[in-house]
Structure 1
C-alpha cells in the first residue's frame, strides 16, 4: 500500500510536470487534456517494484509464428510501444503489423551478439516522426537493442527503469521531447553505453556523480532544468563532447577538469556557474570549443589558459571578468573566434584587436577598455574594477581536501584523552554490548567508523585501559585495504556490430547551435 501511495504521489508530480512542459515547448503542441491522458496511461502501467511484469501492459495477442523467441519478445515490446502512441501523424508505425518485425519502419535487425544463428532487433530509430506518446515498460523486452533514437518527437512522461534490461545499449537519444523527472538513472545500468543525448527535455535536479564514470564518448544535457553543481568526477570522464548549456548549474568548474584527456568540446554557457577559472583549464590541449559565456565568473583570466593550443572557438562573454586580456590567448595558433564581450576587462593586448588580414574574429565590446568603442560607462565599471577578486583566495581555487586528511587530526587529541582514564574506564565495561561501542568512539574516530572490527578484540582492551586508547591507529590502517581493494568489476561486453547506419543520430555540434 505504501508503494501505491508513493506511485500516486509521483504520478501527481509527473502529471503536473508534463502539463508544464506542454506549455513551454514550441513543437506541435498537445492540449493539456491530451498530455494528461498520455501521462495517465503511463502512470497506471508502471510496476510498483520497477520490474518487468509477467503480464504485459497491453493485451498483445500473439498468434503468429516467429523465427525465434527473441523476435517474439521484440514483437510484444514493439506492439506495446505502438499502443502507447497517442498520435502518429506521419504514420511511421503504420506497417507495424505481423510477425516480420525486421520489416517495420524504423526497426533494424542483426545477428545476436551471443549467438550468430539468431536474428534479433538491434535498433529502433524514430527520429523526427512527431510521435506523441510514452515509453511503456514492455519496451524492455527488446533486450538485444543497442540503440534507441527517438529525437524530435512529443514523447512525454518518464524513462522506465525496466529499460535496465537493455544491457548492450550503445546509443540512447531521446532529445527534443517532453520527458520529465530527475535524471534517468537507468542509463547508469548500461555497461557499454557510449552516447547519451537528453537535451531539450524537462529533466531536473542533480546529476549523479557516477554518470562521469561511464565510458561515454558524447553527453548532451543542455536545455533541461538541472540545478546541481557539476560533480568532481567529471575529471574521470572519457567524453570527447559534453554540453551543460542552458540549465541552472551552479558552483565552480571542478579543478579535476584538467584530467579529461579525450575532451574536444565542452560548453557551460548560460548557467549560474561562478568563481574564478581553475588554472587546470589550460591542461585541455585537445579542446577545440570552450564556451563559458553567460555565467557569473569573476577575477582575471589565468595565464594557463594559453595552454588551449587547439582551441578554435573561445567564448568567455557575459561574465564579470577583470584585468587584462593576455596576448598569449589572442595568439593561440588555431584560434578562429574569441569573444570576451560584456565583461569588465580594463586592458587588452594589441594582438587582441582585429586588424585587416587577420583570420581571427575578436569581440571585446561591452567592457571597460579605454579608447575602444561600445564599452561600459565609467559609472558601471568602477564598482567592479575597484574591487578586484583575488583568485588565490577564491573558493573555487582551493583544492578540495580528500576525506582522508580528517583522519590525521583526530589522533593528536587521543593522547589528551589518555590522562583521564576514568573517562574511558566506564565505557570499557560498556564496550561489551555493541550499542555503546558506537556512542563514545565514533565522535573521535568519525572517518574510520567501519572498524566494527574493534568489537572482536575486547579482551585486548579490557586488561590495560590506557593502552587501547593509543592502539586505535592499527585498526585505522588495517580496514582501509578491504575498503579500497574491491574495484567494481567491469563486464567485458562486445560492442554492437555495424548495422549499416550511423551511430550518431544528431552529429555532435560544432560551434553555434549546440
Structure 2
C-alpha cells in the first residue's frame, strides 16, 4: 500500500472515531475549572503563545477583549486674571526679601494661584468683577528682613503695589518704617493692623489721608509724639493706639470721632479728659474707651454723663482727682466703670450705685482713692462685691488707708475742681424722678438681706487690646 493510501486510511479512521465518540464540552470546562495543565508546556512551566492556549481551551482564536477606556484628563485650571498675575509678582518679590522662621509663606509658589497662598484672601473686584487679592493676613507670622533684621514696610511693596487690598493685618512681626503713599489711593482699603511690630516713627501721616479706613490698630509699637487732631475727624469705627510712647494732651476735638471702640491705654498722655467727649459723635456712638495707664490729671468733666451707649469706661492708674460728677448716674448702659488708682475723693454718688446694668453683674472699681463716704445704695454693691472701695478713707470698712494718710490728703493734697457747680448737674434728671422710695429701701437693706453677686460679667472686647495679639471684634 502506498504512502498516500496509508495517510488517507489514518485520516478516515480518526474521523470515524470522532463521529462515534464526539468530545464532551463539559469535560474541557471541568479541566479548566480545576486548573489542570492544558499542555506539556504549561505543565513544565514553559511559556507558550496566547494563540496556542486559546486553541487548547477551545477558544478557537477569538478576538482579544477591548482595552478599558482611558480616564479623561481633568480640565486645565482657569487662567489667572491680570490682577492676580500682578499681585502674585508682588507677593513673590516680598517673599524673596524676608526671613520666614515659621514657614508661613511656604506655599507661595510661582506656579500657584495667589488665592491659594497662606494668608491671602481673594474676591471679585467691584469695578470689573475680575478676581483679585483682596486681603493680606500675616498675623503672628514673625516675619523679618534677611538675617533677622527689621523690615521696612515701604520697601516691601506688599502694602503699596496691590491696589485692590481691603485689609492688611500683620500683627506680631518685625516691620518698621512708614507706609507707602500708594495706599492713599486704594479705593476699598478699610482695615489696617500694624500692631505688635517695631514701628518707631511719629503717628503715620498716611493713615490720616486714607479715605476709606474704618479700622486702625497701631498698638504695641514705639510710636512717639502727639496724637494728631485730624485722627478724630476720620470716619473710623475702631482706634487702638495703646502701648506706645505718645505724649501731650488729647485734642479738643476728641468728641468728633464716631468711633465705637477707643483705647489710649499705657502711653504717656497728659492733661485733662476733653469735655468734648460728652457731645458730638462720641455721645451717640462711643461704646468702650480705655484711658488707663497714662498721666491724665484734673477733674472728670460732667459731660461724660452724656455718653448714651458707653459700656466700658476706664481711667484707672492716672493722676485724676475731684469728686465723681453726679452725671455719672446717667450712664445707664455702663457695665465696667474703673476709676481706681487716682486721687478721687468725697462721696460715691448714690445714683451711680443704682444703675441697673451695674447692679446686675457689673463691675465698679474705686479702689486706691480717697473717698470718705458712700451713698446708701452702694452698700449692697460692696457686699455683693460689685463695688470695690478698698484702700480709701471710708469709716467702718476694712482694708482702708490709715487715718494719718487720709488726714494728710484732705488737709494738704486735696485740690478743688474749677467748676464745682457742674459736679451736681444731672443731664438725665428725669430718669431719677421717683427714685426716693427706692433709695430709702436701699438704706434699710444696707446692712442685711444683701443679694450676692451671681458672677462676673464677661470681659469686654476692648480689654483684649491690652494683650499683644488682637482678637477680632
Range class of TM-score, shorter chain: 0.5 to 0.7
In the alignment, the residues of structure 2 paired with residue 243 and residue 355 of structure 1 have an alpha-carbon distance, to the nearest angstrom, of 27
The aligned residue for residue 88 of structure 2 is 75
The structure number with the bigger radius of gyration is 2
1:138 pairs with one of 150, 154, 157: 157
1:347 aligns with 2:366: no
Q: Identify which of 117, 124, 133 aligns with 1:104.
A: 117
Q: Which residue of 1 aligns with 2:302?
A: 279
* Number of the residue aligned with 1:407: none
Cα offsets for 1:14-39 (capped at 9, x unmatched): xxxxxxxxxxxxxxxxxxxxxxxxxx
What is the rounded CA distance, in whole Å, between the counterparts of 1:227 and 1:234 in structure 2? 15
1:156 lines up with 2:171 in the alignment: no
Q: Tell me which moved more, 345-354 or 229-238.
A: 345-354
- Change in 2 beyond 3 A, CA 1:182/1:137: same
* The one of 214, 217, 220 aligned to 1:200: 220
Alpha-carbon distance between aligned partners in 2 of 1:512 and 1:95, rounded to the nearest angstrom: 31
Structure 1 residues 318 and 356, CA gap change in structure 2 (3 angstroms): closer
1:243 maps to what in 2? 263
Shift of 1:233: 1.9
Who is 1:13 aligned against?
none
Superposition pairs of residues 455-470 of structure 1, within 5 angstroms: none
1:205-231 superposed Cα distances (whole Å, 9 cap, x missing partner): 111111111111111111111112111
Change (3 A) 1:115 1:512: closer
Cα displacement (A) at 1:380? 1.8
Distance 1:153 1:70 in 2: 27
Verify the 8 A CA contact 1:167 1:189 in the aligned structure 2. Answer: no
1:364-388 superposed Cα distances (whole Å, 9 cap, x missing partner): 0111111221111222222321254
Check 1:114–1:197 CA distance in 2 against 1; reply closer, same or farther (3 A cut): same
Q: CA deviation at 1:389?
A: 2.7
Report if aligned partners of 1:159, 1:179 keep a CA contact under 8 Å in 2. Answer: no
For structure 2, the residue ranges without an aligned partner over 5 or more in a row are 1-77, 146-150, 424-459, 468-473
Which whole-Å deviations, capped at 9, do the CAs of 1:278-337 have from their partners, x for residues lacking one?
Answer: 110000121100000000111111111111110001000011111111111111110111
Q: List gaps (5 residues or longer) in structure 1.
A: 1-64, 398-506
Change (3 A) 1:513 1:188: closer
Note closer, same or farther for the CA distance 1:303–1:150 as it changes in structure 2 (3 Å cut).
Answer: same
Partner of 1:373 in structure 2? 398
Equivalence for 1:219: 239
Shift of 1:513: 4.6
- Per-residue CA deviations over 1:76-105 (Å, capped at 9, x if unaligned) read 32123223323x122111121215222211
2:97: which partner in 1? 84
Number of residues of Structure 1 aligned to a counterpart in Structure 2: 337
Deviation at 1:165?
Answer: 3.6
Deviations 1:44-92 (A, max 9, x none): xxxxxxxxxxxxxxxxxxxxx9744432332232123223323x12211
Q: TM-score, normalised by structure 2?
A: 0.67
Partner of 2:418: 392
Whether the 8 Å contact between 2:289 and 2:462 is mirrored in structure 1 is no
Are residues 1:289 and 2:280 paired?
Answer: no
Aligned-partner SS, 2:337? strand
From 132, 135, 138, give the equivalent of 1:126: 138
Residue 351 of structure 1: CA displacement?
Answer: 2.4
Asked if 1 retains the 8 angstrom alpha-carbon contact of 2:238 and 2:260, the reply is yes
Q: How does 1:13-28 map to 2 (within 5 A)?
A: none
**How far, CA to CA, are the matches of 1:290 and 1:89 in structure 2?**
40
> What is the rounded CA distance, in whole Å, between the counterparts of 1:333 and 1:364 in structure 2?
19
How far is 1:168 from its partner? 1.9
1:298 equivalent in alignment to 2:310: no
**CA distance in structure 2 between the aligned counterparts of 1:333 and 1:184, rounded to whole angstroms:** 42
For residue 509 of structure 1, give the secondary structure of its aligned residue in structure 2.
helix
Q: In the aligned structure 2, how far is the partner of 1:268 from the partner of 1:153? A: 26
Give the alignment's TM-score, normalised by structure 1.
0.62
**Alignment partner of 2:356: what SS?**
coil
Q: How far apart, in 2, do the equivalents of 1:512 and 1:171 lie?
A: 16
Report the Cα distance in structure 2 between the residues aligned to 1:269 and 1:120, rounded to whole angstroms: 42
Shift of 1:132: 2.1
Distance 1:66 1:132, change over 3 A: farther
